[in-house]
Amino acid sequence: MQILFAFFNSSKYNEYVSEIVFVDTYGHLLGGKPMKYGYFDDKNREYVITVPGTPLPWINYLGRNDMYGLISNTAGGYTFYKDAKLRRLTRFRYNNVPRDFGGRYYYIKDGNTIWNPSYMPCQTELDSYTCRHGLGYSIFESSKNEISSSLLCFIPLNDNVEIHKLVLKNNSSKLKTINIYGTTEWCLYNAVDDSSNFQRNYNIGEVEIDKNTIYHITEYRERRNHFSFFNVNRDIDGFDSDLDTFVGKMNSWTNPEAVLKGTSFSSKASGWSPIAAFRNDVKLQPGEEITLIYLLGYSENDKEDKYLADGSINKKKAVALIEKYSTLESVNQALADLAQQWKKDLSTYQISSPNKKFDRMINIWNQYQCMTTYNLSRSASYFESGMGRGMGFRDSCQDILGFVHIIPEKARERIIDIASIQFEDGSTYHQYQPLNKKGNADVGSGFNDDPLWLVACTSAYIKETGDLSILNEQVPFNNILGSEVPLFEHLTRSVNYISENRGPHGLPLIGRADWNDCLNLNCFSLSPGESFQTASNYDSHKAESVFIAGMFVLYGKEYCELAKLMNKEKEVREISRAINEIEKSVIKNGWDGKWYLRAYDAFENKVGSKENEEGKIFIEPQGMCAMAGIGESFEMPKQAIESLEKYLLCDYGVQLLTPCYSKYHIELGEITTYPPGYKENGSVFCHTNPWIVIAETLVGNNEKAFEIYKKYTPSFIENISNIHRSEPYVYCQTIAGKEAQNYGEGKNSWLTGTASWSFVAASQSILGIQPTYDGLIINPHLLKEFDKVKVVRTFRGVVYTINILNKYSGIYKMIVDGVESKDKFIKYDNKKTTVDVEIRL
Ligand code: GLC
Ligand code: GLC
């Protein structure tokens, strides 16, 4: 058992007390103190993991355009092109033991010791180990028996190649003779087939071996015009391309026979499992260093260009890519370009506050996660297999809210793609596959909140950019050529769909589900395995959602603003009337005395009411209706927030509901299938918490807003990583609630709407910088103890430097370029390049 150490910090902000905490190689705590498994390196924008055995695999993402990789702190994970289901390049096995097994595995055979720079898969005890997860790259630095290694993995900005740069150095005083193996295991492109259709798969695998490049060409002879390849930038001493030969009978990646023997078998895969494994035999003098560059690439040819005249596969593009990245200079340059791009992207919103943990979320990690959720929606993480969901309609719309300021042009493209899967009646497919952008018929439609999220992201885009022209963009329905109408018409159909589908209490019908996928009021399922979201066995046309009502009021108003800008008077009139009616319905039928009701079920019974035995109060309608200001004159938002604090607040944020359901309720659906305290059944479903942060600022509770924000924000709970277990640098979807056995344990990290909404809550409500259609409103809601915060915000090309002085007179005052302003609004002026703002509070 190896003793490593970690630091932990005291509960006081910013004050690190370094105390030695003992853990074993697997990160198990010896002694029972709160602990961390690494630390933030803010200067380099990295999280540095100091033990391979984190409580769960702590991952990072490579790539940001077409090619992506998931990479864990032991280099596990896989790579794909555009679509983790349809174009998977490397293989990953699910439900594996250990969970995270398979990845970018490099082996060093030094005498009888075989070790990996990333600890896995041999698990040979290392003399030192760190994994640095940075923005779009990960570096593993380790050492064993006086050889140090550094393995850098990243995908350059504009090429479809994952680069692995391996540097080894002999720090001993003796000559070292070592064998180095670089490996990859191919996936047969369709990840679902790859892990199920073995009667075919075991016959079709093909490779072409050309010295130090192995091409994976399975199915190229038929309908694929793409292949992948693995290359190392020097002459090799041996190779294998057949998995079974390389690992040997009964062995695995942990103890491959080739490596054990320090040899290679020159195997050529034919069917079974194709891989690429290169061997380099190297002599290192004392102090000598060697660098090897491995490329995992993807190449596509035009159909007519698949083959050369002599009938061989056209590898011109691949070879060009290999040449491009064969030198250290070009690799270093690509890494520098990537860093430069990230610096530029993040510069749009940078702060400096008295709290480091807040700063690192806003300046680095939250924005990084927003980019990741924008890129991948909910498709591929260590909790989303990449074989199930593609891009979600409501998910991607919400992702845009926290991403749009980073690269607005990309948000624009996405809005058009999303709107293109809408149907003519305003309802929409719930998901689409990123490769072909077609709506996913298996999941279908009928999630009645979906259409309103399109209004939310379109208005956020226009506020960010001022680009009203997007509303005139011609966008099809269900991707059908010839059905195109202006995007504005899509928004009109979205709001009309809600307004026209109301139930007995004048509230919007819920359909299959609203935001809560698991509140299935029209599905009465008794068959194991049946999907609660798609089983249609009882459509009551009665079940109603108070949450969608809140959304309609909030985003209906946004729609009306847009309609005014477009001079659509009739639309403004009609939707304003509907907003009014729905607001009244909530006040009359959607209020439970002290909080907003959640819904009415198919039999018109209340859900989320004091009358219920379990599930008396839900978070979602409190957040959404309070943000929409429903019943403000009766102080409903304030009262709802008070109730929520009383019943739902716990150590890790605000729980989704209470008391949790202890029995299966057929009339409520999947929500009652989760054990108490997990997921939708009463965990802290983090996605919903920023709504409460925003609502708290709206009712003037600045202290409470920050208190809640802190509870579920990863950098603030880093020092209890042994309890939280998930990555301390990104949000997770769900933290087990009070009633769960593993109270405080986070799950479903990375791909969650929490990223976007937390950024919106922090940047627009706590810091209070809100884009509007013609400028910025600046209305901060800071903690009392924050004396001064500086925000640098680029908005439509103008750099606003905003100094907020929080301990002034208690009366809001704004000074813009030396001139005192009358209100909290700064009109956008395109003649300026910089604006200096001082806010006195
Ligand atoms: C998941 C889904 C999201 C849904 C939420 C609550 O995060 O991706 O669409 O709103 O769960 O069910
Ligand atoms: C999806 C899944 C469901 C899950 C929900 C929320 O709709 O089908 O099982 O609980 O998302 O995360």
Binding site membership of 514 for ligand 1 (Cβ less than 6 Å): no
CA 182 vs CA 80, 238, 803: distances in Å? 19, 11, 51
Rounded to 5°, the CA angle 534-539-543 comes to: 105
pLDDT at 748: 98
Q: What is the C-alpha separation between 131 and 394, in angstroms, rounded?
A: 34
Binding site membership of 399 for ligand 1 (Cβ less than 6 Å): no
**Range from 268-277, 356-365, 423-432, 435-444 carrying the lowest mean pLDDT:** 435-444
Counting ligand 1 atoms within 8 A of each CB, the residue from 384, 395, 688, 750 with the most, and so the one to mutate, is 395
Binding site membership of 747 for ligand 1 (Cβ less than 6 Å): no
**Range from 13-27, 309-323, 609-623, 645-659 carrying the lowest mean pLDDT:** 13-27
For the CA of 532, the nearest atom of ligand 2: 8
Binding site membership of 390 for ligand 1 (Cβ less than 6 Å): no
Q: Count of alpha carbons within 13 Å of 661, Cβ hemisphere only? A: 24
Residue nearest to atom 2 of ligand 2 (CA): 517
- Of 517, 774, 817, 829, which residue is the catalytic one? 517
Q: What is the per-residue pLDDT across 339-366, written as a single tens digit (0 to 9) for each?
A: 999 999 999 999 999 999 999 999 999 9
517 catalytic? Reply is: yes
Percent of the chain scored above 90 by pLDDT?
A: 93
Percent of the chain scored above 70 by pLDDT?
A: 96
**Residue 182's beta-bridge partner residues?**
106, 278
**Band (389; pLDDT cuts 50, 70, 90):** confident
Q: Is the dihedral of CA 628, 756, 58, 43 positive or negative?
A: negative
* Cα 819 to ligand 1 centre (Å): 46
Give the residue-averaged pLDDT of 576-584. Answer: 98
Give the residue-averaged pLDDT of 547-572. Answer: 98
Write the DSSP symbol of residue 338.
H
For the CA of 517, the nearest atom of ligand 2: 7
Ligand nearest to the CA of 373: 1
CA 213 to chain centre: 33
Q: pTM score, two decimals?
A: 0.95
**Band (23; pLDDT cuts 50, 70, 90):** low
Beta strands 213-216 and 113-115, pairing class? unpaired
Ligand nearest to the CA of 678: 2
* Cα 516 to ligand 1 centre (Å): 6
* Cα 381 to ligand 1 centre (Å): 15
* Cα 374 to ligand 1 centre (Å): 15
Ligand nearest to the CA of 394: 1
pLDDT at 24: 52
Strand residues in 414-454 grouped as ranges (E): 431-432
pLDDT at 503: 98
Cβ neighbourhood burial of 232 (10 Å; 0-12, 13-18, 19+): buried
Binding site membership of 392 for ligand 1 (Cβ less than 6 Å): yes
Counting ligand 2 atoms within 8 A of each CB, the residue from 533, 671, 678, 750 with the most, and so the one to mutate, is 533
For the CA of 734, the nearest atom of ligand 2: 12
* Cα 613 to ligand 1 centre (Å): 25
For the CA of 389, the nearest atom of ligand 2: 1
746 and 699 Cβ atoms separated by less than 8 Å: no
**Residue 178's beta-bridge partner residues?**
110, 282
Binding site membership of 395 for ligand 1 (Cβ less than 6 Å): yes
* Cα 640 to ligand 2 centre (Å): 27
* Cα 517 to ligand 1 centre (Å): 6
575 backbone φψ class: left, alpha, beta (φ>0; ψ -120 to 50): alpha
Residue nearest to atom 1 of ligand 2 (CA): 517
SS (H, E, C) 744-798: CCEEEECCCCHHHHHHHHHHHHHCCEEEECCEEEECCCCCCCCCEEEEEEEECCE
Mean pLDDT of the chain: 95
Crossing angle between the packed helical segments 450-465 and 546-565, to the nearest 10 degrees:
40
Ligand nearest to the CA of 751: 1
Q: What is the per-residue pLDDT across 124-168, written as a single tens digit (0 to 9) for each?
A: 999 999 999 999 999 999 999 999 999 999 999 999 999 999 999
**Backbone φ and ψ of 492, nearest 5°:** -60, -45
**Band (538; pLDDT cuts 50, 70, 90):** confident
Ligand nearest to the CA of 685: 1
Residue nearest to atom 6 of ligand 1 (CA): 516
For the CA of 389, the nearest atom of ligand 1: 8
pLDDT at 373 over 60: yes
299 and 314 Cβ atoms separated by less than 8 Å: no
CA 584 to chain centre: 37
Give the residue-averaged pLDDT of 367-385. Answer: 97
* C-beta atoms surrounding 15 within 10 Å: 9
Binding site membership of 515 for ligand 1 (Cβ less than 6 Å): yes
Ligand 2 environment, Cβ below 6 A: 517-518, 533, 679
At residue 448, the 3 state secondary structure works out as coil
470 and 432 Cβ atoms separated by less than 8 Å: no
819-821, strands of its sheet edge to edge: 349-352, 788-795, 798-805, 834-840, 813-816, 819-821
Q: What is the per-residue pLDDT across 751-806, written as a single tens digit (0 to 9) for each?
A: 999 999 999 999 999 999 999 999 999 999 999 999 999 999 999 999 999 999 99
Q: What is the per-residue pLDDT across 468-498, written as a single tens digit (0 to 9) for each?
A: 999 999 999 999 999 999 999 999 999 999 9
Q: What is the C-alpha separation between 818 and 815, in angstroms, rounded?
A: 6
**Band (19; pLDDT cuts 50, 70, 90):** very low
* C-beta atoms surrounding 419 within 10 Å: 27
**Band (605; pLDDT cuts 50, 70, 90):** very high
Residue nearest to atom 7 of ligand 1 (CA): 752
Beta strands 485-486 and 474-475, pairing class? antiparallel
pLDDT at 598: 98
Residue nearest to atom 10 of ligand 2 (CA): 518
Place of tokens 């930038």: 233
* Cα 434 to ligand 2 centre (Å): 19
* Cα 433 to ligand 2 centre (Å): 17
For the CA of 513, the nearest atom of ligand 1: 12
88 and 78 Cβ atoms separated by less than 8 Å: yes
Write the DSSP symbol of residue 271.
S
Retrieve residue 143's tokens.
């050492």
* Cα 498 to ligand 2 centre (Å): 23
Q: Is the peptide bond before 98 cis (omega within 30 degrees of 0)?
A: yes
Residue nearest to atom 9 of ligand 1 (CA): 395
